[in-house]
Amino acid sequence: MEHTVLAFDFGASSGRAVLGGFDGERINLCETHRFDNDPVLVRGTFYWDVLRLLHDIKLGMAKAKTIARFSSVGIDTWGVDFGLLDKDGALLQNPVNYRDRRTDGMPEKFFRNIMPREELYNRTGVQVMAINTLFQLYALCEKQPGLLKSADCALLMPDLLAYMLTGVKTSEYTAASTTQLINPHTGKWDTQLFGKIGIRPDLFPEVQSPGRVLAKLDGETARELGLSDVEVISVAGHDTASAVVAVPADAGDFIYISCGTWSLFGTELLTPSISQKSMDCNITNEGGYAGTIRFLKNISGLWLIQEARRQYIREGRKYSYNELERRALASEPFAFFIDPDAPEFVPQGDIPARVREYCRKTGQGIPETAGQIMRCIYESIALKYRLTYDMMRECTGKTYKHIHIVGGGTKDNLLCQMTANATGSKVIAGPIEATALGNIAVQLMAKGLIKDLTHARSVIMNSFEPVRYSPQDGHTGQWQTAFERFRGIIA
C-alpha cells in the first residue's frame, strides 16, 4: 500500500510542491503546484516575498489534498538567508535575499577588524563567500544595529517557513552548517564567534539533526486546510543536502554536482577535512544527512545561462534554451573564457555585456554574437568543473570512478557532455528532481518506512533511469589545451 508525503522545494526563481508516493520499492513523484520565488526589490534592497510563499505553501497543500492523502510535509531551500522575529514571534522585516548588495566588502572588513581569513576557515571549515550568514549579520551590526537589538530570535529560511506552519522554532543542522557560524567538529554554534561580531550567542535556536518530526500543523492552519493529522518534518533543510541524499551512488566514494542556479561540486565525507590545501582551494565543509560532511565548492551554474537569456528577452530577442544551445554549438570552440565565479557575474543584470567586458579586459578580444557568448559560458562552466575536480582529488587523495550530476542541469545535454569532455570522466546524469526526492526520502526515513541512507539511495536508483555520458573520442587533447589557457586567464 502506497504511503505519500509532500515536499516543498524553493529554488532561486521558483518553488514547487511535489507529492512522493512510496510503495516499498520505488518513489513516484507528482508535482502539484509551482510558483514564483523571485526576490522583490524595495528601495534598493532585495527581499524574500515570504508571506506570498506561505500562501503558496498552503495552496500547494490544498491542491495536493485533492490528489492524494499525504501524512507529512518537509521544506528545503538554500542556506545563509534568515528572518528575525520579535519576542511575540512576529517578523521584524521581510528576510533579505542573499543577492542583495549589503554584504559587499564585508569579508574584507571582517578579516581586517575581527580575525584573519585563515583563523575563520580553521574555526568553521566553510568556504568564504560574501553571502554567508556571518557576513550578513556583520553587515547588520554595522548598518542596522537597532534591528538586531530588537530581535528575540533568528531562523534560517527553511526553519522560518516550518515555524510559520507549526509555531516551533528550530535550527536544522544542514542549513545551519552553511552560516559560517558552526563548529564543524561538534555541529553546534560557535558562540565565541557570535560574540566577536557583537551578536547574542542564543540568537538562533539550538542545532538539531534532520529527520525529526517537529509538530503537526498548528490548529489554525489545520482547520483552514482541513489537514488535522499532517506532520511537519525537519528534513535536510538545505537544498543541496537534500539533493545529495538522492545521489544514486552505490557503496564507495563518489563525486556529485548538484546543478541548478548554483553548481555544488563535491563529495561526501564522514568527518570534516580542514587543511591548508582545502583553505587555499576555498572548499567548504557543510553538514549532510546522518552526520555526513558535504565537502564541496560552490560554483556559479545555470545562473549565467538563465540570466543571459533573461537579458536577451529584455532586449526583444526571445531565445529558447534550445536555440541558445544551438547557437553555442555553431560557434567556434574555445575562443573565449570567463571565470564563472568572478564577482561581476553574481548580481542580476546584463550578463552578456559583462562577459564581453571580462573578455576585453583579459585580452581575449570581444565575443559579439549570442552564440559566441553562450559558447563561452558553457565551456567556462565545464572547465571550472575540471579545475574543481582536480582540487577535490588533491584534497582528499582519492580517485573517483565517475561524476554524478543531479538536479535541473541534467536536462542540459550540452553541459553534461562538455563536463565529460572537460574532466575526462564518465558522467551519470539524474535524477532531475534530486532535491525533492531527497526531501521525500528523509520524511520516509523519519517515519521508519526507509531504513537508512544506503537504503534510500537504493530505492532512488530503483526509481529513475539515469543518462550516461562518456568523453568523446578525439576531444581530450583539445580540452586539455583549452584548460591550460583557461587557468591562465582566470588566475
Spatial neighbors of 420 by CB under 8 A, at least 6 apart, are 403, 426, 427, 469, 470, 471, 472
pLDDT computed for residue 264 by the predictor: 95
Phi/psi-derived region of residue 166, left when phi > 0, alpha when psi is between -120 and 50, beta in every other case: alpha
The H or E element spanning position 305 is helix 303-314
In this predicted structure, the answer to whether residue 473 has a pLDDT above a threshold of 90 is no
CB-count burial class (<10 Å; 0-12, 13-18, 19+) for 347: middle
pLDDT tens by residue, 385-395: 999 999 999 99
Residue type, 351: I
pLDDT tens digits, 424-460: 999 999 999 999 999 999 999 999 999 999 999 999 9
Q: Hey, how many other C-beta atoms are within 10 angstroms of the C-beta on 343?
A: 9
How confident is the model over 137-163, as a mean pLDDT?
96
Distance (Å, rounded) from C-alpha 168 to C-alpha 394?
43
pTM greater than 0.85: yes
Q: What is the pLDDT of residue 209?
A: 97
What is the band of 367 on the pLDDT scale with cuts at 50, 70, 90?
A: very high
Residue 277 clears pLDDT 90, i.e. is over it: yes
User: What is the amino acid identity at position 176?
Assistant: A
Q: pLDDT, tens digit, for every residue of 207-228? A: 999 999 999 999 999 999 999 9
pLDDT, residue 252, reads: 82
Contacting residues for 124 by C-beta, under 8 A, at least 6 apart = 180, 181, 182, 183, 184, 190, 193
Amino acid at site 317: R
User: Chain centroid to CA 346: how far?
Assistant: 14
Select from 262, 308, 247 the least CA-distant residue to 454. Answer: 247
Contacts of 349 (CB under 8 A, 6+ apart): 307, 311
Candidate list 81, 100, 190, 239, residue with the active-site label: 239
Please state, for a pLDDT cut of 70, what percent of the chain lies above it.
100
Mean local confidence (pLDDT), 21-49: 96
Strand, coil or helix: 246: coil
Q: What is the mean pLDDT of residues 333-341?
A: 97
Cis link prior to 431 (omega < 30° from 0)? yes
Domain boundaries, the chain: 3-239, 247-430+451-491
E strand or H helix at 357: helix 351-361
Q: What angle is formed at CA 14 by the lines to CA 153 and CA 265, rounded to 5 degrees?
A: 80
Residue 77 has pLDDT above 90, yes or no: yes
- Reply yes or no on whether the pLDDT at 251 is more than 80: no
According to CATH, the superfamily of the domain at 3-239 is ATPase, nucleotide binding domain (3.30.420.40)
Check residue 475 and give its pLDDT: 81
What does 419-465 look like in DSSP terms, one character per residue?
HHHHHTSEEEE--TTHHHHHHHHHHHHHTTSS-SHHHHHHHHHHH--
Rounded to an integer, what distance in angstroms lies between the CA atom of residue 491 and that of residue 488?
Answer: 5
Q: Which of 48, 56, 132 is nearest to 95 (CA)?
A: 48
Taken in order 280, 285, 286, 289, is the CA torsion positive or negative?
Answer: positive
pLDDT in tens, 228-237: 999 999 999 9
Look-up: residue for cell 581569513? 117
- CATH number for the region 247-430+451-491 comes to 3.30.420.40
Q: How far apart are CA 445 and CA 369, in angstroms?
A: 50
- Binning pLDDT at 50, 70 and 90, where does residue 474 land? confident
pLDDT band at 33 (very low <50, low <70, confident <90, very high): very high
Using 50, 70 and 90 to split pLDDT, how confident is the model at 485? very high
239 tagged catalytic = yes
Cα–Cα distance measured from residue 396 to residue 253, given in angstroms and rounded to the nearest whole number:
10
For residue 291, pLDDT over 90 is answered with yes
Q: Is the pLDDT of residue 178 over 90?
A: yes
| Model confidence at 348: pLDDT above 90 | no
